[in-house]
Amino acid sequence: MSYPLEGVRVLELGQIIAGTYGNQVLSDLGAEVIKVETPEGDLGRIPSVAPYRGLSALFLTFNRNKKSIVINLKTEPGRALFHDLVKVSDVVVDNFRPGVLERLQIDYGTLSRVNPRIIQCSVTGFGATGAYKDYPALDLIIQAISGHMAITGEPGRPPVRVGIPLADMSGGIYSCKGILAALYARERTGRGQRVEISMFDAMLNLLSYIATLWLTDGVLPRPPGSAHEYTVPWQAFEAKDGHVVVATRQDNFWRKLCGVLGEPGLAEDPRFATNADRVANRETLVPRLEQIFRTRSVAEWLERLRAAGVPAAPVNNLDGAFAEPPVAERGMIVEYDHPDVGKVRLPGNPIKMTDIPATPSQAAPRLGEHTDAVLRGLLSLSPERIAQLRQQGAIK
């Protein structure tokens, strides 16, 4: 068995999350990903960014299965060296601000002359052109301006940021998709192309049907908390020792829920007979359900709800989430040994395929760990030439 992207080589100029996450997915699928770092290194290496034993958990997470080389692209020998690597690579990924690629002479126009088959993917905040092209592309900024924070949280409360760096990760997710599409297109055309991902665009796309309702009918959503504007009950309820969610869009689930709650009369009440009725009478129904759910523990409710076939789940902390059976069954924890911090455990690749082995688990690299090996192996540079480049400040 082999990985589906074996033989694909990616040069990663990206930093933090938006420019690295998509490439981590590619590396999990077998691509050779070479981080081309500045002498100072990826900003994601800074220990204050999710500190873990003196290193950055962020960097350890998004850079497994990658190699690291250091090239100073501000020097002429460094740029020439990078161009030589482009000749033997398939993809270049960055998340620089617009204009940086042109200043460094590594824009798509330049690189496509070096290698017409090269695919260049840039992840930006708002695109390479337009009124907002120079705005800072930070996760919080994109979450706020894209409307996500306005629909997240409890009604009547201040806006809430999604608990993960969703805007950054959306840039990575869509860059991975774009790169795979460009690789497939190249099989037919023989040519590479430029792929551009705007984090703002990605987050607008993730608004899905909520955006459709606004764009077509002017329906302005409000933050629903754990509830659903168009389904009742579909939310978290407080139990004796935690919270449990139930999702009963279909009326047959509603009737089953009433049986579990010991309230068959609720199912017969015309105010709650259909989902539309329950939505219209939410303010009457939900407080009654809240009162009932407080009478038992989460485990007691889950046993009864699942036995009756009612969709339900605990509201887990991470300890509960990673203790759930599918985690082990589907290999969703991978481990690697890092030379500086020892064993690192992190989430695995959710893409499971019949013809590939488990997720590879090589440690996130030290800064410049593979510089000499990559230059020898890919460009056949001699030790003397590598030493000369180092003396010139082109590599570290």
> How far, CA to CA in Å, does 276 sit from each of 132, 271, 279, 334?
42, 9, 5, 45
Confidence category of residue 173, pLDDT binned at 50, 70, 90: very high
Q: Compute how many other C-beta atoms are within 10 angstroms of the C-beta atom of residue 190.
A: 9
In words, the CATH class of domain 234-315 is alpha beta
In 146-263, which ranges are continuous DSSP H helix? 166-189, 199-206, 208-217, 251-261
263-302 pLDDT tens trace = 999 999 999 999 999 999 999 999 999 999 999 999 999 9
Nearest to 152 by CA among 222, 48, 78, 57: 222
In 190-334, which ranges are continuous DSSP H helix? 199-206, 208-217, 251-261, 264-268, 275-280, 282-293, 298-307, 318-321, 325-329
23-37 pLDDT tens trace = 999 999 999 999 999
Identify whether the C-beta of residue 91 lies closer than 8 Å to the C-beta of residue 183: yes
Q: How many residues does the chain have?
A: 396
The question of whether 338 is a catalytic residue gets the answer no
40 SS3 class:
coil
Pick the catalytic residue: 83, 148, 228, 370? 228
Identify whether the C-beta of residue 81 lies closer than 8 Å to the C-beta of residue 394: yes
Under CATH, which architecture does the 9-206+327-391 domain have?
A: 3-Layer(aba) Sandwich (3.40)
The pTM of the whole model exceeds 0.75: yes
53 SS3 class:
coil
Residues of the chain with CATH 3.40.50.10540: 9-206+327-391
Q: Compute how many other C-beta atoms are within 10 angstroms of the C-beta atom of residue 258.
A: 20
Measure the CA–CA gap between 119 and 236, rounded to whole angstroms: 45
108-155 pLDDT tens trace = 999 999 999 999 999 999 999 999 999 989 999 999 999 999 999 999
- Residue 50 is predicted with a pLDDT of 86
72 SS3 class:
coil
Q: What percent of the chain has pLDDT over 90?
A: 93
Identify whether the C-beta of residue 207 lies closer than 8 Å to the C-beta of residue 147: yes
DSSP 8-class letter at 365: P
